[in-house]
A and B are shown apart, each in its own frame.
Chain A
Amino acid sequence: MGNVIKKLAIGLVVGGALVGITRALEFPFVFQMMFFGYAMLGAAVFMLLDAPSLKTMSGTKSVIALLAFYIVLCTVYIAGASMWPQYDPEDEKGKIAKILGPKFAATQQGKAEELIARAKALDEQVKALEVRLKALGGDETTKEPQAGALPVTTGAATGDFMKLGEEQWQLQECYNCHKLKGEGGKKRGPELDNIGTYLTVDEIKLKILDPKSFMAEGYEKDWEKGKMPDKYKDLMEESDVVALAAWLGTFKNTSVPTPKPIKKK
C-alpha cells in the first residue's frame, strides 16, 4: 500500500508540474490533461514494477481470474477507442453521394433504377390527373407539367457555376494539399491564392487533368515523383473540372506567394 501511495504522490506531483508548464506554454486545456494522463500512466507503470508477486492460482480460481481479465481488456479497448474524437460518417455521406451519383447513373443498374423511378413518378402523376379529371367532370385540361419532363431551370448563373467549382474543391478534398484563403494545405502542394494571375482557366483545367503538364517552382521533387494524383480525369465530370478551374482562376491575390507554374508539356 505504501508503494501505491508513494508512486501516486510522485505521479500527481509530476502531473501537476506538467500541467503548470504546459499552461505557461499556452497549451490548450485538453493537452494539459493529456500530459497529466501521461504522468499518471508513468505512476501506474512504476506501481506495477514494485508490486508484490502474484500468488499462483489454479483450477476454478484461475479460470475466473482469466475471464475477468478478458472482460476488463474488452471494456478498456472499447471504452478507450470510444473516448477519442469520433468522425461523423454523416459528414461524408453527402460527399460520396455527390461524387458517385453521376457514376452510378451511368451504369446499367443506375439507368434501370432511374427508369423505374421515372415510371413511378409518371404513375403517380397519372393517378393525380385521374383524380382531378374525375373531380372536374373530365373536360378540363390540366396545367400540370408534362410527366417525366425535367424541371425547368433558369440556367446556370455565373454564381451557381462558381459555387459548383468551390463545391468540387471540397468534394475532391484539394484542401488536403493546397492552401487557399488561408485554410487547408500541409505544404504538400503549392498555395493557390494567386494562381489566377499565372494560369488561364484552360491551363488550370489542363493541370487538373494532367498533373505533369505544369510544375510549380520549388516543387521539382514532388513533380518528378508525381505527388499530385493523376486520377481526376477519370473521377470528375468535364463540367466539374471546368467549374473548378474557373473558380480557381478567380484567385488573383498577388500578396500571397503562389509559386510560378512552369509549363512542362
Chain B
Amino acid sequence: MKTWQRSLVAACALLVLFGGVAYAQAPGTPTMEFPYTGNRTAVWIVAQLHILFAAFILGAPIFVVISEWMGYRKQEPRYDRLAKEVTKVTVILYSMTALTGGLFIFVLLATYPQFTTWFINQFYLVFAVIYPALFISETILLYLYFYTWDSWKGEKKGRHIALGVLLNLIGLITLFVINGPTSFMNTPVKGEGISPQLFLETATLWDKIANYSWMPLNLHRIVGNVTFGGFVAGMIAAYMYMGAKKDEERAYYDWMGFVGNLIGVGAMLFLPFMGYLLAYELCDYDASICPYMMADQLSMFFEMQGAMIGLMFLASNYYIWLSMKRIEGVEKVRMTILAPIAMVLLPLVMTKVMTDYPVPDPMSLAFLLPLILAPFTLGRFIPNTRFFPKTVSARTVIKIGFLMVVVGDAIWLTPHGFVPTGAKLVAELELPESWNFLALMPAKNSAAFTLVFVTVVNYVIYNRAIRQGTIVWGKIDFASQFVLIFLAFSSIWTMGLMGAVRSLLRKYYHTYNLLPDFTAESFTPTLSYSAWWITGITVVFFIVVSFAIIVTLRPSDSKGHAPEGSPVPARAK
C-alpha cells in the first residue's frame, strides 16, 4: 500500500468519525437491527477488532524503539532489522486500526444512536478535538519514522530514535485519552450522597476522564499491549522461520522469535498483578461488581482465563526448554538447590501467609521475601554434602519448575463450585468446607505468584546457559515455532475474553448505574457463546496480520541481508 493510499484510508476513517459526530446530533434517528449477530454482538466484533489492531500499533513501537536503540548502542544490525520489520507490519496494521475505528463509530451510531449521542456529548472535546489531533499527529509521526529509517542513519540515528520516542509518547497519550471514556462507562464519576445524574452535571471533563478505573486500565493496557506486541513479533518470526530457505535467514528469525518471546513473557509477568489492581479498583468502586465477576454470572469466564494463563505460562516455559536444548554445554549449567525448594514451598507458604496476613499487611512480605530471595542470596553458602547437594542441574530445576507450573495452574483453576452462579450451588458440586481455602484469593494469589516465580527462575537459568554455553541460532526444535504462534494466538484470545468481561461488568447499563440499556440484549451471554465470537474475532485478526506479514516481509527475501544472525558463540556477544 502506498503512502497516498494509506492517507486516503486514514482520511476516510476521520471522515466517518466526524460525520458520525454530526449524524449523532440528529434527533429521533431510527435504530437498525443487525441480522444474525444482533446489535450488541455487531458492536462487540468491530470494537474488539479495533482494539486488537490498536493494541498492536501502540505496543509494538515501544519495543521497536528499544530494539533500534540497542542496535545503535551495540552496533548490531539485526536489532535494527527487527525494529524495521516490525514497523513495516505496524504501518499496514495502522491503516486497519483507522479503518476499524471508523467502522466502530459507524456501527455504534447505527445501533445505539441515543447512547452514542449522549456519550459523544459527554466527551465532546475528546472526540471532536483531542483524539483526532492526537491521531493525526501519530499518523504523521509514524510515517515520518518509517520513511526516514534509511535516510536518518549513521550520525542521524539518534534523531531517528528520538522521533520514535516521540511517537511512543503520543501513542501513550492517545491511549490514556481514549481510556478516559472507556473506563468512564465502567466507573462513571460519583459523589457520596448525590445521584450520579446530578453529580455528572457538575463534573468537569477531567473528572470524567480521571475516574476510578482510569489509571488501573491505563497500566493494564500498557503492559498488555507490550505483551501482545512481543508475542505478535514472535509470531512474525515464526512465520518467517517457517518460510526461510537459507540457514542465515533461519538463524535471524530464530533470534527474532527469542527476542519477541522474551519481551512478551517479560511483560506478561506483570499482567496478573495489573489485572488484580484493575479488579480491586472496580470492586472498590462498587462492591456488587465483585460477586458478579468472581462468584456469579462471570465466574466461569475467570475459570477460562485461569486455564488460558496457565497454558500460556506452560508454553512460555516450554519455549525456554526447547531453546535450551540447542545450547551446547548446557549440561554443565547448575543452580543452587534452594531454587527448586523455594518453588515447591512457595504455593503452600504463600497461601498460609496471605490467609493470616492479607495484603497489604507488611507482615506477609516479611515472611515471603526471604523465601523468594533465598536462592539468590543464600545459595552460595549452602554446604555440599552427599545427601544434600549444593547445586542441581539446570534440567532438574526446569523439570521441577514445570511440575510447579502444573500445580499452580491446578490451584488457580480449582473453583469453589462447578456451577455458573452461587444460587445453583449444591453439596455435590461444592468444595468441602475444610478445603474451601483453595478457592479463595490467598490461594489464587499464591498460584499466580508461583507461575511468575518459576518463569523468572527458568529465565535466570536460561540466561546463565547462554552465557556459559554456545547458542546455535537457527537450530532450534521446529516445535518452538508452533509454541510462538500458540503464545500469540492465546494472548489475543485471552485479551478478547477479558475485554468481554470488562464490558459485561456494566451489566444492563451502557454506562454503569447511569444509563440503562433497555434493549433485549442487555443480559449476560454464556461463556460458550462468547468463546465462539472471541475465536472468530481472533481468527479474522490473524488472517489480516498474516496477510500483512506476507505482503510486507516476503519481498525482503530477494534483497538479501548481511548474515546478522549467523551462528556464533553466545559468550562472544
Which residues of A come within 8 Å of B, CB atoms? 25-31, 34-35, 38, 41-42, 45-46, 48-49, 51, 53-58, 62, 65-66, 69-70, 73-74, 77-78, 80-82, 84-89, 91-93, 96, 99-100, 103-104, 107, 109-110, 173, 176-177, 184, 186, 188, 210, 212, 225-231, 233-235
Contacts and interface: CB of A to CB of B under 8 A. Distances in A.
B420 A85 contact: yes
25 contacts: A26-B432, A54-B478, A54-B479, A54-B482, A57-B478, A66-B485, A69-B482, A70-B489, A73-B486, A73-B489, A78-B535, A81-B528, A85-B418, A86-B420, A86-B527, A89-B523, A89-B526, A99-B508, A100-B518, A109-B518, A173-B291, A173-B296, A176-B295, A234-B195, A234-B196
A93 B523 contact: yes
Given A53-B478, A58-B243, A89-B525, 4 more contacts: A54-B479, A74-B535, A77-B531, A81-B527
B381 interface: no
B286 A229 contact: yes
B163 interface: no
A28 B286 CA distance: 34
A55 B242 CA distance: 11
Interface in B82-104: none
B347 to A, nearest CB: 13
Contacts of A110: 518
Contacts of A225: 284
A53 B419 contact: no
B427 interface: yes
Given A42-B403, A96-B522, A177-B291, A28 B427 contact: yes
Interface in B409-431: 409-410, 413-414, 418-422, 427-431
B contact residues, range: 35 or more
B245 interface: yes
B564 interface: no
A100 B522 CA distance: 10
A264 B414 CA distance: 41
B211 to A, nearest CB: 15
Contact of A89 (B314, B478, B524): B524
The 4 closest A-B pairs by CB, nearest first: A81-B531, A87-B420, A82-B528, A176-B291
Given A86-B420, A176-B295, A74 B539 contact: yes
Contacts of A92: 297, 523-524
A91 B421 contact: yes
B406 A38 contact: yes
B303 interface: yes
Given A45-B402, A234-B195, A84 B291 contact: no
Interface string B525-549: 1111011101100010010000000
Contacts of B296: 87, 173, 176
Contact of B245 (A26, A29, A58, A104): A58
A187 to B, nearest CB: 11
Contacts of B526: 86-89
Nearest to A212: B192
B303 A84 contact: yes
